[in-house]
Chain A
Amino acid sequence: MIRLRFVLQGLLRRWGSTCLTIGVGALSIAGLCLIFWAQSAIPEAVKTRISETDMVVGPKSSGLDLALCCALQMTPAQGLLELERVQARLAMDDVRPFVRMQVPVAMGDSYRGHRIVWTTPDIAPFYGARLTDGRTWRQPLEIVAGSEAARSLKLKPGVRLTSSHGLAADGDAHDAAYTVTGILAPTGGVLDHLLLADLASIARVHDHGGEHDHTETAPHSRVNAVLVRFTSEIAQASLPVLISDSETLSAASPRLELAKLMALARPLIDGATIVSAIFGALAVMILGLSLMQGLNRRARDFMLLRFLGMSRRDLALLSIGESLLITHLALLGGCILAVAGQSVLAGMLASHGLTVSGAVPFREALTLYSAAVVLSVLSALGPTLRMSIARDDEELRA
């Protein structure tokens, strides 16, 4: 305990460099933690959300737009197309053998920030979802809520709700009211955040006598996209290309599109990693200098400890202990900053409907901790070497 107090007093005497070391170290650790977390948690969350959708077929637009809008339900819908035209294309001989399931989706309205998707009852088996309460819709203006939507909106069968135009929580309200008929069990996927209603609801909700401009929705013959599940993985690469040859249709594999997006983000991630690593190196340098400064300032105290019975090894351990104490304070600060940053990032992603959870992967966390401890010990080598070669009589007479 008295040794710890001796070390703490030493750190307090040079509080400026101590705080700088801890601050820079904490920033580096927080940065690396966030990068490790984002690298594992975001792709995992995205993968979970799109795992059931092998292909999205929609109007002419970019593949990434289709994937983000119709598979991930993150961005506004881009346009409409005739459902019959898509169904006809999917029924052609070159495509049909690969299509296991298909389900149309149309979007454009929301209720308190949760997107309403007009679709068919096939969407539940498409996503492997089952009802946990109530029943599915049987007519227009009946609605089934995903588990997360039901939880956050406190929905249960029998509750009536009025949707609003657009995806923002403060959009113009419609006159017609929906009645909740069922709640889905959690799937861990995109469905959890959605409110599902029949395609025929579109016309009922938007029957305003023409005073309301509703560009994203349409009568139930027109939809934003058709989601497709394949019979074989082989179709992932070829089928979207084949369908996109059409003049009016685009098709995209969400998995491939998001892989491309991740590849585009790679330089950004690498850049952030390098910046965090530079901060880490800076922290190690400052730590080494701070320890040396501490040794210089307390040379007489260290010499005294030699007289009192400490060996050079004891003094080296004291210096290493001081270094490890600073490192662990930086690790603690880094963890706190990382958790705060994680919470902010997760909140930002959640506002786009992407639930990201989980911690920094254990292997990366262990690597980061081990590297911090090793670098901490290495930074104490300078003072340790100096103590091992210093002559006691010279130190005494200094």
Chain B
Amino acid sequence: MPETILQTRALSVERGRQSIGLPDLTLHAGGTLALCGPSGSGKTSLLLALAGLVRPRAGEVIIDGQPLWRLPEAGRARLRGRAIGFVFADYRLIDSLSVMDNLQIARASAHLARDLDRATNLLERLGVAPLASIRADRLSQGQMQRVALARALMNRPALLLADEPTAALDEAAGDRLIDLLLDLGRDEGIATVIATHERRLLPRLDDTLFLALPAEAVA
């Protein structure tokens, strides 16, 4: 039986004046979960609650056996840094730093020592190793998203949260990125939650618990 990475119990989060309820979820290592819904349906709010950044209205989130919202702020930050990777729609690289520094700052933020081998390995697997010393603002959109994915995986997270990861890419590039993301997730036994409004991506998520979130209901 694979290790349980993510569990939610009676979770509901706030989105504006609405409260979004969620059925109890369980996600094992290597498993994937799609959160599918239109813009404004609360996908990002839910991801932020799972990341320990926005307090849910009710319920509990358990990550790697630790009740996230019972931890103090510093404890949540520590757990987030070491156990959760995050991929954004707009990459969120630090423009003024090099690709390598963008990866290493993930280590530093989680109070972990530099790991050049891990960074080099990830950049090679994602096909952007030659760009290691290039400043982030000189990369193409596709390269930026690959570097952002490498950064999310840098600390060997147990859980990967991706918020519309293909939103800024064309269809082919988006498909390649999802392939990479799922491959790496399976290889490293990472539980992956992807928030997307692109229904075409859903069939690509094998062994996926399909979850769509319209404005007020849970599928």
Q: A309-B82, A309-B110 are in contact. Are A304 and B94 (CB under 8 A)?
A: yes
The residue from A2, A9, A13 contacting B114, defined by CB atoms under 8 A apart = A2
CB interface residues, B 90-105, toward A, < 8 Å: 92, 94, 96-97, 101, 104-105
**Distance of B46 from chain A, by nearest CB (Å):** 11
**Distance of A276 from chain B, by nearest CB (Å):** 35
Asked whether, in the complex, the Cβ of B73 is within 8 Å of the Cβ of A300, the reply is no
**Distance of A384 from chain B, by nearest CB (Å):** 14
The stretch of A129-137, A227-235, A323-331, A389-397 that contacts the partner chain:
A389-397
The stretch of A46-54, A168-176, A185-193, A311-319 that contacts the partner chain:
A311-319
Q: Is the interface on chain B under 10, 10 to 19, 20 to 34, or 35 or more residues?
A: 20 to 34
Give the secondary structure class of B's interface.
Answer: helix
The residue from B44, B77, B86 contacting A397, defined by CB atoms under 8 A apart = B44
Interface string of B134-168 (1 = CB under 8 A from A): 00000000000000000100010000000000000
Q: A300-B92, A393-B54 are in contact. Are A309 and B81 (CB under 8 A)?
A: yes
Asked whether, in the complex, the Cβ of B77 is within 8 Å of the Cβ of A393, the reply is no
Interface string of A354-398 (1 = CB under 8 A from B): 000000000000000000000000000000000000011100110
Residues of the B chain whose Cβ atoms lie less than 8 Å from the Cβ of A311 = 73-74, 76-78
Asked whether, in the complex, the Cβ of A313 is within 8 Å of the Cβ of B44, the reply is no
Interface string of B106-142 (1 = CB under 8 A from A): 1111110010000000000000000000000000000
A12 to B79, CA, bound (A): 32
Asked whether, in the complex, the Cβ of A13 is within 8 Å of the Cβ of B96, the reply is yes
Beyond A2-B114, A300-B92, A313-B73, 17 additional pairs, beta carbon < 8 A: A2-B101, A2-B107, A13-B96, A304-B94, A305-B109, A306-B53, A306-B77, A307-B51, A307-B53, A307-B86, A308-B151, A309-B155, A311-B74, A311-B77, A393-B45, A396-B48, A396-B53
**Interface residues, chain A, with chain B CB atoms under 8 Å away:** 1-3, 5-6, 9-10, 12-13, 300-301, 303-314, 391-393, 396-397
**Interface residues, chain B, with chain A CB atoms under 8 Å away:** 44-45, 48, 51, 53-54, 73-74, 76-78, 80-82, 86, 92, 94, 96-97, 101, 104-111, 114, 151, 155
